[in-house]
Amino acid sequence: MEAELHIERLSLMGEGVATYQDRTVFVDGALPGERVRARLREAGKVLRGELVEVLAPSPSRRVPDACPLADRCGGCDWLHVDEAAQLEAKKEIVLSALEHIGKIPRDSFELRPTRTADPAMGYRRRAVLHSSAQALGFFGRRSHSHVPVERCPALVLGAQGMPGELSQALLPILRDLSEVHLLEAGGRSAFSVHLRRGLKNRHRAVVTAALRNTRARGAVLVAFDGRRELLGDPLLREEAPLAKGVTLRLRPDAFTQAHGAANRALVEVVVGLAAPTPEDRLLELYSGNGNLTFALAQSAGQVVAVESHPVALDLASAAAAEARVGNVRFVLGDARKVTPGLAQGGERFDVLVADPPRTGALGIGAWAEVLGVKRVIYVACHPASLARDARGLVEHGFVPGVLELVELFPQTHHVEAVMAFQLRPRQG
């Protein structure tokens, strides 16, 4: 069934939202203010619309000619939206989530201008490629369909041809792979292959040959049980943002922010809002490879950095040892388990910085309260998780002060938000 729809707004996932016969319709690719024709299908309590024709386009709509796969690939789902409109839409998505999910009015805190960094295309230094029997590629738009990719213009120039190169080089073992993670930094690249089953000699042989036949300098073999084996030199390095004398260690099997230049802006925002002093003890949860840690440690008296991924923590520890950073203590463990242990051990902190995954940090309000925290800086890549956890912080006595967005994901609906909270003064 087809219907003509008026698009009212965007959803948290960046889809156009309309109403048809008193039911909500989500239309991928449609923009607010547009009149479109869509093919409707049932999706539980709501309807989903496949965009058939744009009858009255938004002034923000453009031809997505930067990539020939734009109509199928889910990697850059907003290529059809100009950059200025992307920024406005992301701001509205975050504010709406805080208002409706977090119950935090948009006029109750300071909203600062969104931080951006060039380039807006060809910026991605990291990619997760999914494997089929024939090729590597990305998921399709709003689906897990496989879209083979030879060249990706969203990647940094030195990595744009790597999807096709790796597809050919790893062809004999593609059936055994779930994903291939690609990483580029400092003009060097590396990749990790993630196996569906145990590691075998033929996997080693094919990946070793791939290192000879591609521009990658090293690879990590990751078995289904998590065991890892390094081939070549997959360790990449870059200067830690705002931390003079510290060199970050990066590997393709550990998380790295995709936009290098925007990541520096993110670190600047977090450090500026945290404003640590030599008298402050700072707790950093989900600390990764030290991307924020070393910048925070430049001014804080002590930083306790908690991370559950052993590889990431090892990378951070090695960077700290090399630079002789003496005021950071690294803790391996799940934040949900480590924080109660710290509290029971009598540890107290002045500042809490959290950069959780998309699922958020459920319980962060209680953690901050029992640890005696005065300031919380929450870094979010998912507006709904931010809103939920912000509400939890408010319920435990914290007041939202500042919200600042960082454009880490141009051409997509994804957005990075940093929100600062202050402990509410006690009455009487």
Helix, strand or coil, per DSSP, at residue 354: strand
Q: What is the pLDDT of residues 83-104, one digit of tens each?
A: 999 999 999 999 999 999 999 9
The pLDDT, as a whole number, for residue 428 is 54
Mean pLDDT of the chain: 96
Sheet holding 35-43, edge to edge: 2-6, 35-43, 46-56, 23-27, 16-20, 9-10
Report the pLDDT averaged over residues 309-322: 98
Q: Are 353 and 270 contacting, i.e. CB atoms less than 8 angstroms apart?
A: yes
* Cβ atoms < 10 Å from Cβ of 270: 25
Show Cβ contacts of residue 389 under 8 Å, excluding neighbours closer than 6 positions.
356, 360, 361, 362, 364, 365, 378, 380
Domain end: 45, 61, 77, which one? Answer: 61
Asked whether residue 143 falls in the same domain as residue 204, the answer is yes
Q: What is the pLDDT of residues 240-268, one digit of tens each?
A: 999 999 999 999 999 999 999 999 999 99
Asked whether residue 280 falls in the same domain as residue 387, the answer is yes
Q: What is the pLDDT of residues 273-308, one digit of tens each?
A: 999 999 999 999 999 999 999 999 999 999 999 999
The pLDDT, as a whole number, for residue 427 is 66
Sheet holding 126-131, edge to edge: 146-148, 136-139, 126-131, 177-185, 188-195, 218-222, 228-232
Asked whether residue 283 falls in the same domain as residue 199, the answer is no
Q: What is the pLDDT of residues 318-337, one digit of tens each?
A: 999 999 999 999 999 999 99
Q: Alpha-carbon Rg of the chain, whole angstroms?
A: 23
In a domain? residue 247: no
Asked whether residue 275 falls in the same domain as residue 405, the answer is yes
In a domain? residue 310: yes
Q: What angle do CA 181, 182, 185 make, to 5 degrees?
A: 140
| Rounded Cα–Cα distance for residues 260 and 185 (Å) | 9
Asked whether residue 406 falls in the same domain as residue 291, the answer is yes
The pLDDT, as a whole number, for residue 44 is 86
In a domain? residue 90: no
Q: What is the pLDDT of residues 138-197, one digit of tens each?
A: 999 878 899 999 999 999 999 999 999 999 999 999 999 999 999 999 999 999 999 998
At 45, is the pLDDT very low, low, confident or very high (cuts 50, 70, 90)?
confident
Centroid of chain to Cα 269: 16
Asked whether residue 270 falls in the same domain as residue 410, the answer is yes
Q: What is the pLDDT of residues 386-419, one digit of tens each?
A: 999 999 999 999 999 999 999 999 999 999 999 9
Asked whether residue 353 falls in the same domain as residue 414, the answer is yes
* Residue in 164, 80, 76 with CA at minimum distance from that of residue 121: 76
Asked whether residue 204 falls in the same domain as residue 110, the answer is no
Give the predicted TM-score (pTM) of the model: 0.95
Phi and psi for 80 in degrees, rounded to 5? -85, 5
In a domain? residue 57: yes
Q: Are 379 and 270 contacting, i.e. CB atoms less than 8 angstroms apart?
A: yes
- In the chain, the number of structural domains is 3
Q: Are 80 and 29 contacting, i.e. CB atoms less than 8 angstroms apart?
A: yes
Amino acid at 321: A
Query: Going along 368-407, which residue ranges are E strands?
Result: 375-380, 398-406
Amino acid at 332: L
In a domain? residue 251: no
Asked whether residue 106 falls in the same domain as residue 31, the answer is no
Q: What is the pLDDT of residues 351-374, one digit of tens each?
A: 999 999 999 999 999 999 999 999
| Rounded Cα–Cα distance for residues 249 and 17 (Å) | 42
| Rounded Cα–Cα distance for residues 130 and 111 (Å) | 37
Asked whether residue 141 falls in the same domain as residue 103, the answer is no
Asked whether residue 220 falls in the same domain as residue 270, the answer is no
Asked whether residue 191 falls in the same domain as residue 264, the answer is no
In a domain? residue 136: yes
Q: Are 224 and 241 contacting, i.e. CB atoms less than 8 angstroms apart?
A: no
Report the pLDDT averaged over residues 46-72: 95
Domain end: 236, 267, 293, which one? Answer: 236
Question: Looking at residue 2, which CATH number applies to its domain?
Answer: 2.40.50.140
Which domain, by its residues, includes 28? 1-61
Give percent above pLDDT 90 in the chain: 96
- Higher-pLDDT residue of 77, 142: 77
In a domain? residue 200: yes
Question: Looking at residue 194, which CATH number applies to its domain?
Answer: 2.40.50.1070
**Which stretch of DSSP H or E encloses residue 163?**
helix 162-169
Question: Looking at residue 286, which CATH number applies to its domain?
Answer: 3.40.50.150
* Length of the chain as a residue count: 428
In a domain? residue 88: no
